[in-house]
Structure 1
Amino acid sequence: MKSWPVALLAALISCAAPPAGASDQWVPVRDVSLEVQPGSPLDFSSLLPNTVIDAEHRLVAGPDGRLAFALAPEKPVRMLCASLAWSPASGGFPDHQGADRYARQLAMHGYNIARLHFVDASLMAGREKDFDFDPETLDRVHYLLAALKRNGIYWIIDGLSSPRGAYGGHGDRWDANGDLKLRLHLDDAAFAHWRTLQQKFLARVNPYTGIATIRDDALAVVILANENGIEFDSLVHERPGDPAYREALAAPFNRWLAGRYRTTEALAEAWGDLGAEERLEAGSVRLPANRYEDGPRMRDLQAFFTETEQASAERMSRALRDLGYSGLISTYNNWPTVQTALSRRDLDAVTMNTYHDWVGGYSPGATLTQASSLADGANYMRMIAAARWLGKPFIVSEYDHLFWNRYRYEAGLVMPAYAALQGWDVLCRHGHGPIVLAYGEPYPHKRQMLPYAIALDPVARAGETLAALAFRRGDVATSAVTIPFAVRGAADLGEDMQAREPERLTELALVGRIGLMADERFDGEVGVMQPRAQGARDILDALRGEAVLPSDNRTDSERGLHQSDTGELLLDRRSGQLRLSTPRTEAAAFSSLREPVDLGEMRIEQADGNGLVALSALDAGKALATSRRLLLIFATDAHNTGMVFRDSEEKIIEDFGELPVLIRKGYVDLTLSRSAARWKVSPVGLDGTVYPPVDQGSGPVAFRLSNDTPYGPTTYFLLEVEEG
């Protein structure tokens, strides 16, 4: 965790010029250190204290399927997750001193669990022999785990992230090369390799904790292998001119067909499209030539994938149990299709990854759509909501609304607010790491803001700050309405490999909790049945008829209006707004403001552009109406200095530019419903430093908030109110 000298970086900031023609719109960040100051408004360690990690505080699945501590399984806990996906390009694992500082900072930011991703790649970077872990990296990993535990931060660890596993002699461990993830389903040697990796890493005694990682109370979840569904892995490895599915699947698929149909004649009757050369007895039945060509062949391939994935997950889980692991196990953490939902059915917990405006890489020519997530009704959230199995812990192992999308401020409200509404257990915004200790670290992926690098992005960081309050603190309530989606099993598989729950029905996630439930568990409750012939209005009308949903709920799909059953969330797709009104936090994400937005305690009168505004009480146990200290968040957009695009709409990147980060200037006019003897608004630096007030007064609390302060641009402000 080395940093450039402060004087050097300050010099770079002073001489860096903003993009041509944008000097009046973009302002360079002056902060260099990003370590939150103890006791500052951004230090949440007292507001959100982490517990000691021991046997009584081991995370378990409670009786309702929510994460809880072992000593109180009936009381759910929410976990805000720090994504630790380091590589040499982002600086790798810190040394001991850096790990202590980093773990402490994570706790101060409100994180209470961390996901370690691509540890296998880091351990094997530059190694030529199988399982020949780099000793310094292994030591740093072990020390970091101990430092996290000392700070009350639990662990989620991938059993496998890199498709190269622990094989020696590979220089592309972070790329989508290698076939280990597919072979895990098919090949005893691949399974043996995976099991040995768990023995040599997870089952190894950590010298800094004195216990094997796999037996540690801090290890809450093991993801057997990241994103290892067969269909998704096949899609990732498909190249122009190649078959849709690799030949390694052909023989196992033929054996599976033989077990189901017995004869070629029976198969031909079921499919109706066998080629003359296709004989079940000869094992010559072809895989589908096109993954998007629907038909009975594709339906059976899905059933084969499901049974194969269930069997391999059971086999790998058994191997972990034999090594002494007693925590939660998950896998198949992406791809929200009907097929993969069946594969996840018997797991201890469901883990899912999701992205809005996905970016494929860092090379010139990389593209995104510049679309708002509110315009499609937060579809990236709804997709994974419909992949949840009710009665099991649900963990968002990765999500992001990616840089350089200009609407990414939405993520700081959309995901934590709806995660809380849904009653999800863990929320993890993906990145190399969620924080850095300073701008200017001399590593390729930290020289400028990049996709999947949220730590350098003031907009993403503002969203994570709001997530700590809205989600982890529990400012947003969980829905009292549960809408199950009935699942029969293989009978639900159609002829489309890509089929997932209909968007017209996942809109229900904007109103109440949704998730999958075995058909036989239904007991008269209102739900989405098979086949999926109902519409959202049918379900909502039924809920209103049973007085489960308030009669005054404003949801109207045709108008693009969706209100949560709690009344706290209102999404207006047509205006591009999401509003949140709770006793301790009020917020709005908006693409435009045609008229004032009244959230209850706070009213946004006008704004000069799109952005996120949030107000949260900082006094423990106090609501917005009575708290004397309140945190204001105002996030617009941020670029790197010298960013270049190939198009006027900024969809295609040519050059990501360099530091310093530039924040787009903006203002909002705010009024509060309360009056005060005295009030003042002070800018808060990105490190939590409170600067002298930029506005103050007495009586009605009303002011213009500009993020372009005399002390540099920021996303944070402290509002202090003294009652008369």
Structure 2
Amino acid sequence: MAQAVRGAQFGLTLSWLFACALRAASEQTPIPEGAPFHLAADVATGSALDVSFLLQRPAGAQGRVRAQGERFVFGDGTPARFWGVNLCADALYPPKGEAAAIAKRLAMSGCNLVRIGYWDGGTGGVFRQDLDNTSTIDPERLDRLDYFFAQLKDAGVYSLLVLSMGRRSLKSGDVGGVFDAEAAPAAYQIGRFFDPRTRQADETVWRSLLGHGNPYTGLRWADDLAIMGIEILNESSLYYAYRLFTGLPEALTAKVQQQWNQWLARRYPNREEMARHWGSENIRPEEDPATGTVALDFSLLLDPLWRENPSAAPREGRGNDWNRFLAEVCRDYYLAEIRFLRSLGIQQPIACNGGGSLVAADVWSNQVGDFFTQHSYHDHPRWEKGPMFYSNASSLKPGLLPIPGLSLRRLAGMPYGVSEYDFCFPNDWRAEGGPAVAAYAAFQGWSLATRFAYWSGSWEGREAMYSPSAGIRSIWRIHNDPAAFGQWPVIALIFLRGDVAEAQKTVDVGFSEIDTFYRERHRFPPAHLRFLDSVPFVHKTRWTHFEQVYKGDADLAVSSGRSTSGDYSQARAAILASANPWGDLYGLQRGTFIAPKRGLVMPADTVAKNEDWFLEALQRLPDGHGGLMPAAQEGWVESDTRELRYRRDPGVLALDTPRTQGVVGFVGGQALATQDLVIRLENDFGSVVASSLDGRPLRDSGRILVVAVGRCQNADFERLPQPDGRFKATGKSLGAGPILIEPLRFTMELRVGDDARPLSVHALDGAGQRIANIPSRQEGNSLFFSVDGKPTTIYYELVK
């Protein structure tokens, strides 16, 4: 019966969206009827905003976190998920008098993880800046860090430690400070991969923290169970740092060339064999790996993260070997540092390069770690000669952009997380980000997510930071942003409590050995595989590497499209296509996919001409499509659990789970129904999410939190449109406090159970204290109430 009612509601929702042309919110319109609202420095204990019941105290009480398959588990075997924020640089050293309160504020809002970064160097590091080295600890800063870590632990907040994030160069007095590293920062960031002495400089710094005994916990950092994991690097693989190759000192350039030639000599028995693979026209007469004379050619992989280098296209063999060489160097570096960390007694899971990569070979190198992380920012501003520029685009309208990219880059076989993400200020629509990430992270089965950043500068005093007159000061400070941290209690419930069920079916994107090391001329996903962008909204997606034979357990395997190589005969089902005809790295032989019985190999010309080729291929699979990728209903893409529904136009996300339900996006003036709610939002844009606080289904709950937030900006905020369609922001145009929100006006109907006790509705302030009663009425099994934006708030509590 419930299913039938739900289906009817879904159909009603589809009909109004299909029939109605919604008003487009102007990107140049200031916040309508903006009114001051601020988050409080402290959340009232036991209030509807206190979700600290999601955490176990102290952190580590359930035993050491370990990787088990594709998830983390605690020492006692229970699944472990982590939801939190980044704290970095000077934010790691709050005054001792405030450290406990900061930790408590995070815990009460539902943060059970802080990612610790930039401790290792720069002005925000724990090391002195006034000496000839970068490895002498400042005792006062270390003491503050020790104390803050202990307070986080006591509050139930775990730490994810990034070992190398802030240090950008060495000084003359550093151990391993070679290649004139102070004059050439590139020597440090590239040198760590090629020179053991440079690595020693890192290891000296890491040992100083990890081997140090924290006087406030009585444990070495290396032994503390409150550290749930370690990332060795942050966005610093050779692929991230590739531009720096052209600025290396001569001595380090010679060392790179030496190792390149040694690698080639192991790969090819003689120069003639190498010439056969590369093409004799791509080898100069004097080049021979046996004599160490094969030159470095950095143009082969110029800027691989963002664009291809057309001039390198004729040199596939040489470029692909260079690509593989770099990936193996990264892999060997990670293995060496993992061995070093294990020698210190580290037993926590270790990730290689925090932030992963967009490059297949770079992702491949991260498989030697215990877990994998990626990063994503929506509408990250660009600074151009002073001012910053941003698009102010909604992530919902172009396809909820961070979700497909993050989901498709999830490595199979290990826990996965997003250790940096943000929907950046001053984007008007950033309130859509929190619920979307929490919902799809739970649906995809991610293990952690940390937003960047709660705070990133020197502490200015909690009362000042949360003052009613304080504004949003930076794109990297969400602590007082109602559209970001204001949503934390309800989105923590979505993710940590597992309100959104994991996907029922899995789609693997397969990367054979050839796919993996093919130079970035063939980007992922190629144009003919753009259908992959919609798969993460329906099924779990993974990125999986294999040498020759795919042996995964996914319901469907799809080739990456980077080559026509790969034996998929053991797949349950497969759809295979590629515009690249070669089945090797050298253009010597054409590739031939091997498909399973329930598989199809699609001709490249058919794929190129038909945008709907994938859905048609699914219908042609032997024995049917098996419930994979059902056709969108009037524009809605629905998860295979039927709990999440997303529509790109006009840009709406609906959450429909037993304990959390709501709507996010551009739904102005219309009603949207879930299984227990009907929400009519009068504003053009907003996020209205209701979540049970007592763990019961929403219709039976005796206490419910509703978070309703839309646009918010600083007072005096001014948008400066540019001729190219972007917007410019200066320090003055961003405005100052107080923060103004657009109060949401909406009506809500809640279907309730048979409990005769009525629910009362209360408006809450930024601390969770009740400030007003909201009139409501109950008719049969339905509760009705309306919110007109007064008093000004984003929080409402329903309680029996």
TM surpasses 0.5: yes
Equivalent residue for 2:368, pick from 333, 341, 346: 346
- What amino acid is aligned across from residue 667 of structure 1 in structure 2? R
**Paired position in structure 2 for 1:549:** 627
The CA distance in 1 between the partners of 2:253 and 2:746, in whole Å, is: 55
**Paired position in structure 2 for 1:67:** 72
The CA distance in 2 between the partners of 1:234 and 1:599, in whole Å, is: 49
Verify the 8 A CA contact 2:128 2:134 in the aligned structure 1. Answer: no
Please report how far the alpha carbon of residue 168 of structure 1 lies from its aligned counterpart in structure 2 after TM superposition.
8.3
Equivalent residue for 2:242, pick from 217, 234, 243: 234
Deviations 1:493-549 (A, max 9, x none): 323267334542242111111113334423685222364517653686589966853
> Compared with structure 1, are the counterparts of its residues 550 and 264 closer, same or farther at alpha carbon in structure 2 (3 Å cutoff)?
closer
Verify the 8 A CA contact 1:439 1:456 in the aligned structure 2. Answer: no
The CA distance in 2 between the partners of 1:498 and 1:228, in whole Å, is: 23
Verify the 8 A CA contact 1:278 1:286 in the aligned structure 2. Answer: no
**Paired position in structure 2 for 1:587:** 662
The CA distance in 1 between the partners of 2:101 and 2:426, in whole Å, is: 29
Q: How does 1:384-423 map to 2 (within 5 A)?
A: 384-423=406-445
SS at match of 1:145: helix
Query: Which stretches in structure 2 are left out of the alignment for 5+ residues?
Result: 1-27, 175-183, 565-575, 578-601, 603-612
Verify the 8 A CA contact 1:181 1:225 in the aligned structure 2. Answer: no
> Compared with structure 1, are the counterparts of its residues 550 and 318 closer, same or farther at alpha carbon in structure 2 (3 Å cutoff)?
closer
**Paired position in structure 1 for 2:210:** 202
Deviations 1:291-316 (A, max 9, x none): 42244133222211110110000000
Please tell me whether residue 143 in structure 1 is matched to residue 182 in structure 2. no
- What amino acid is aligned across from residue 236 of structure 2 in structure 1? N
- What amino acid is aligned across from residue 663 of structure 1 in structure 2? I
User: Which stretch has the larger CA shift, 176-185 or 321-330?
Assistant: 176-185
**Paired position in structure 1 for 2:25:** none
Deviations 1:230-286 (A, max 9, x none): 1212248989xx9xx988755543443343235554444333352647623423242
Equivalent residue for 1:689, pick from 758, 769, 772: 769
Q: How does 1:277-426 map to 2 (within 5 A)?
A: 279-280=287-288, 281=291, 282-288=293-299, 290-291=302-303, 292-293=308-309, 294=313, 295-296=315-316, 297-334=318-355, 335-360=357-382, 364-426=386-448
The CA distance in 1 between the partners of 2:535 and 2:712, in whole Å, is: 33
- What amino acid is aligned across from residue 67 of structure 1 in structure 2? F
Verify the 8 A CA contact 2:232 2:354 in the aligned structure 1. Answer: no
**Paired position in structure 1 for 2:113:** 113
- What amino acid is aligned across from residue 690 of structure 1 in structure 2? R
- What amino acid is aligned across from residue 527 of structure 1 in structure 2? A
The CA distance in 2 between the partners of 1:512 and 1:103, in whole Å, is: 36
The CA distance in 2 between the partners of 1:217 and 1:487, in whole Å, is: 36
Verify the 8 A CA contact 1:526 1:542 in the aligned structure 2. Answer: no
Verify the 8 A CA contact 2:376 2:421 in the aligned structure 1. Answer: yes
**Paired position in structure 2 for 1:449:** 473
Please report how far the alpha carbon of residue 395 of structure 1 lies from its aligned counterpart in structure 2 after TM superposition.
1.8
> Compared with structure 1, are the counterparts of its residues 192 and 455 closer, same or farther at alpha carbon in structure 2 (3 Å cutoff)?
same
Bigger Rg over Cα: 2
Please report how far the alpha carbon of residue 221 of structure 1 lies from its aligned counterpart in structure 2 after TM superposition.
0.8
**Paired position in structure 1 for 2:134:** 130
**Paired position in structure 1 for 2:649:** 574
SS at match of 1:652: strand
The CA distance in 2 between the partners of 1:127 and 1:225, in whole Å, is: 25
> Compared with structure 1, are the counterparts of its residues 701 and 424 closer, same or farther at alpha carbon in structure 2 (3 Å cutoff)?
same
Equivalent residue for 2:751, pick from 670, 673, 698: 673
Verify the 8 A CA contact 1:364 1:653 in the aligned structure 2. Answer: no
The CA distance in 2 between the partners of 1:238 and 1:370, in whole Å, is: 35
User: Which stretch has the larger CA shift, 118-127 or 95-104?
Assistant: 118-127
Q: Percent same amino acid among aligned pairs? A: 24
**Paired position in structure 2 for 1:463:** 487
> Compared with structure 1, are the counterparts of its residues 168 and 209 closer, same or farther at alpha carbon in structure 2 (3 Å cutoff)?
farther
Verify the 8 A CA contact 1:640 1:660 in the aligned structure 2. Answer: yes
Equivalent residue for 2:503, pick from 476, 479, 493: 479
Please tell me whether residue 511 in structure 1 is matched to residue 534 in structure 2. no
What CA RMSD, in Å, does the superposition of the two structures yield over aligned residues?
3.4
Deviations 1:392-430 (A, max 9, x none): 111211111111111211111211111001111111111
Please report how far the alpha carbon of residue 473 of structure 1 lies from its aligned counterpart in structure 2 after TM superposition.
1.2
Please report how far the alpha carbon of residue 178 of structure 1 lies from its aligned counterpart in structure 2 after TM superposition.
5.3
Equivalent residue for 2:790, pick from 674, 684, 709: 709
**Paired position in structure 2 for 1:4:** none
Tell me the TM-score normalized by structure 1: 0.85
> Compared with structure 1, are the counterparts of its residues 483 and 543 closer, same or farther at alpha carbon in structure 2 (3 Å cutoff)?
farther
The CA distance in 2 between the partners of 1:538 and 1:167, in whole Å, is: 61
Verify the 8 A CA contact 2:378 2:395 in the aligned structure 1. Answer: yes
Equivalent residue for 1:628, pick from 693, 699, 702: 702
- What amino acid is aligned across from residue 182 of structure 1 in structure 2? I
Please tell me whether residue 161 in structure 1 is matched to residue 165 in structure 2. yes
> Compared with structure 1, are the counterparts of its residues 56 and 624 closer, same or farther at alpha carbon in structure 2 (3 Å cutoff)?
closer
Verify the 8 A CA contact 1:561 1:572 in the aligned structure 2. Answer: yes
- What amino acid is aligned across from residue 49 of structure 1 in structure 2? L
Verify the 8 A CA contact 1:677 1:698 in the aligned structure 2. Answer: no
Verify the 8 A CA contact 2:359 2:520 in the aligned structure 1. Answer: no
Q: How does 1:643-654 map to 2 (within 5 A)?
A: 643-647=717-721, 651-654=727-730
Please report how far the alpha carbon of residue 677 of structure 1 lies from its aligned counterpart in structure 2 after TM superposition.
6.5
- What amino acid is aligned across from residue 65 of structure 1 in structure 2? E
Please report how far the alpha carbon of residue 439 of structure 1 lies from its aligned counterpart in structure 2 after TM superposition.
5.8
Equivalent residue for 2:558, pick from 496, 510, 528: 528
**Paired position in structure 2 for 1:269:** 276
- What amino acid is aligned across from residue 403 of structure 1 in structure 2? F
> Compared with structure 1, are the counterparts of its residues 21 and 588 closer, same or farther at alpha carbon in structure 2 (3 Å cutoff)?
closer
The CA distance in 2 between the partners of 1:120 and 1:660, in whole Å, is: 35
The CA distance in 2 between the partners of 1:192 and 1:489, in whole Å, is: 32
Tell me the TM-score normalized by structure 2: 0.78
The CA distance in 1 between the partners of 2:554 and 2:373, in whole Å, is: 29
